[in-house]
Chain A
Amino acid sequence: MMTGAFGHGAGGGASQSMADPFDEMNGWSGEEPRPAYSEVRRWLDETPPEILDTRHAQAELLFRRTGITFNVYGDAEGAERLIPFDLVPRVLTAREWARLERGLVQRVEALNALLADLYGPQEILKAGVIPRELVDLNPQFELAVFGHRPPKDVFVHIAGVDLVRTGPDEFYVLEDNARTPSGVSYMIENREMMRRLFPDLLARAQVAPVETYPDLLLETLRSVAPAGSERDPGIVVLTPGPFNSAFYEHSFLADKMGVELVEGADLFVRDDVVFMRTTEGPRRVDVIYRRVDDAFLDPLAFRPDSTLGVPGLLSAYLAGKVAIANAPGAGVADDKAMYSYMPEIIRFFSGQEPLIANVPTWRCREDDHLAHVLAHLPELVVKEVDGSGGYGMLVGPHATKAQLAEFAAKLRARPDGFIAQPTLALSTCPTLQDGRIEPRHVDLRPFVLTGAKGVQVVPGGLTRVALTKGSLVVNSSQGGGTKDTWVTG
């Protein structure tokens, strides 16, 4: 389900090799365990492995019973799988979190400023900070919404920024997911599961709550209701339907916010106003939290064969009669070519230095970068600029000679389509594997909300873990699992 893959092979870290990456609990090898994990360590030491295994089985049963599943594309219809849940939490201290939070706020403010500019005055292009063709030729750049200012100038209401860590103070942004990032339901359900299974541990560890997220999301959506929507604004979650991989999350969020979960066919547009079909006739809709991609939103404006969307929706949006979160066209800000300019973009709009670093990125579209990439292919990770989910990617250190040659040819043929990054030694976190505790690589996706009153981040996020030993691919579609993420103290 979750988009936004990464795959980082061995060897590239400045100080550490793949053989011993930074461990979230034990630090660098040979060091004292880190204090943030003292409660977790004590708990792991005191709890017999059989108990952990029993609790793990219990967790799976509860997830299945509640229907917390995702669908895998290509599977038989209705095949619902569990995302493996790991019992050992991932811990961040309040101090670490405070730093990340400031960086995330800065980053998402820049994304919104960038979009307001690209769909408006385009100062950043005039200043030559990013090349014009990166925008003009970008399939995610929606000409249809050019010149339109969404309510409160917010484009990215919900961002899921993927972070990775390579040392005690080294965090990197790996991706800015500014379209329809998923996974937040797992952040909340994983916490709920830990509360059910280990209430004492949670109480001792003084963990900041994440359960406020749905309320904050509702507040965010309310705050961007179009001017003139009298009364209580009508808010809905728009889903592609029960066969979508993230359907559980769509229903979860609608449920927790107390709003309707609608499919395209439940909505219609009359005189540029959006209504939903109810048992007592039409009811007005003011804000749509859509979990449907741009291309499928409105068959009149985008893909004519889409049955998921609502004919006339874009026209209603442009007339200012409905807010859509995230705004159509937001995808131009988060593709991997644009990503490589984020440090410059942050400086341009805020005048500040980025608080969380980018992973150094070579843009194959530039000749000298391409030459470097071709010369160092076995050490690099090469990604398609508009790819996601871990598909269409080369992990140099894990690739065969034939694969390297094939990719080199692809790069020469279509350099614009690719970027390359060094392979990072991602941090590991202790993980329960067949009754034993072993280190596995993790990333972190915090969820960042932007409404009329500014940017908010719930303390925590979704930690994804690559369950296969040595693997760096955490995507749930490729065997990744999840962990509860704690911000303590």
Chain B
Amino acid sequence: MQMLSRTAASLFWTGRYIERADFMCRLLDATARLASLPSTYGGDPTAWTGALSAAGVADAFAATGLEPSEAAVTHFLAVSADNPSSVRHCLERARGNARAVRTALTLEAWEALNGAWHEVDRFAGPRFTQGRMGELVETVRRAVLAFDGAAHRTMLRGGAYWFLQLGAAVERADNTARLLDVKYHLLLPRDEAVGGSLDHFQWVTVLRTVSANTAYRWLYRDTVKPWLVADLLIFDSRMPRSLICCYAEIVERLDQLTHGSGKRGPANRTAVTILRQLQDTDIDKVFAAGVHEFIGRFLADNARLGAAVAEQFLF
């Protein structure tokens, strides 16, 4: 499917930034819950530091010189101009990219994004207060659903749509992996003595961040077990945010994008390799080799794929 390279790049990044804005909102929401519990019930005073790591912006936050208080971290993740991954910044970039290639989107998809930006711009500026965080999370999550729905219902199944979805899938894999990495010390191997009810809320928080609470219960019909959470988020192809599901989608989108020309390139090959690696391993092997190491390798692979996409499609 032939299209302007700049357009393709902008759509890819529109997809990524929308996905990231959504993830940041989920993270804010879940962390606020966790931090609000008394510590005897699993409440975690370090929850906000953990959120910074999961967002991949711990260094950027440290550079501000602020204490990682709830107020400071919330502000940083929600609206800060110093944070390239803040919800506000992600939406602004998503909209900026989309506006530059406005014609590649349908009116409905563009309006969903543009409307969300104007809405958020009204209250999530420099004077944003923590009291409005719920509103921000709600607005963005609704907007992302509206955008996805508009794209799904109105966009031609062609290059523009596939690049959007490709960007979203690459970002989604990245987000899930980062979340796992931060919580890896909780994701213990089967039968290992666990911290009892204390950790329960932390696992539930992880599931909540990826909208998987109900899915977990449905699939496992069991109380929350750490190894099952890890299995679900890495290997279950029915779970839309699992790494394997993201990679199945990435491979499919790249196939669609190159089907017409028959010119498969480094992005196709890298994606297939990563998917095979995921298919050829299981949760026991991951625990044997170390969750942190496994995730670290995956994140590096995913970054390589991003570079291969840019190379193949001449971004």
Contact = CB atoms under 8 A, between A and B. Distances in A.
Given A242-B100, A251-B102, A277-B314, A67 B114 contact: yes
B107 interface: yes
Please indicate which of the listed interface residues B99, B115, B261, B313 has the most CB atoms of chain A within 10 Å of its own CB.
B99
Given A241-B100, A254-B103, A276 B118 contact: no
Contact of B5 (A241, A247, A248, A266): A266
Interface of A: 64-67, 78, 241-242, 247-248, 251, 254-255, 260-263, 265-266, 276-281, 283
Given A241-B100, A254-B103, A255-B102, A279 B2 contact: yes
A65 B111 contact: yes
Chain B, interface size: which category? Answer: 20 to 34
Contact of A279 (B107, B110, B314): B314
B86 to A, nearest CB: 17
Interface of B: 1-8, 96, 99-103, 107, 110-111, 114-115, 118, 159, 257, 260-261, 263, 313-314
Contacts of B3: 260, 278-279
Nearest to B102: A251
Contacts of A66: 107, 110-111, 114
A251 B111 CA distance: 14
A263 B103 contact: no
A266 B6 contact: yes
Given A263-B6, A266-B5, A64 B263 contact: no
Given A65-B114, A65-B118, A242-B96, A283 B2 contact: yes
Given A262-B6, A281-B314, 5 more contacts: A242-B96, A247-B99, A277-B4, A277-B314, A280-B263
B6 A277 contact: yes
Question: Which 8 interchain pairs have the tightest Cβ spacing?
Answer: A255-B103, A251-B102, A279-B313, A280-B2, A277-B5, A278-B2, A254-B103, A242-B100
Contacts, number: 66
Nearest to A247: B99
Contacts of A261: 101-103
Nearest to A278: B2
A247 B314 CA distance: 25
A260 B8 CA distance: 12
Given A65-B114, A66-B111, A277-B314, A266 B4 contact: yes
A248 B101 CA distance: 11
B313 A242 contact: no
B180 to A, nearest CB: 32
A281 B5 CA distance: 9
Given A251-B103, A279-B257, A280-B261, A64 B118 contact: yes
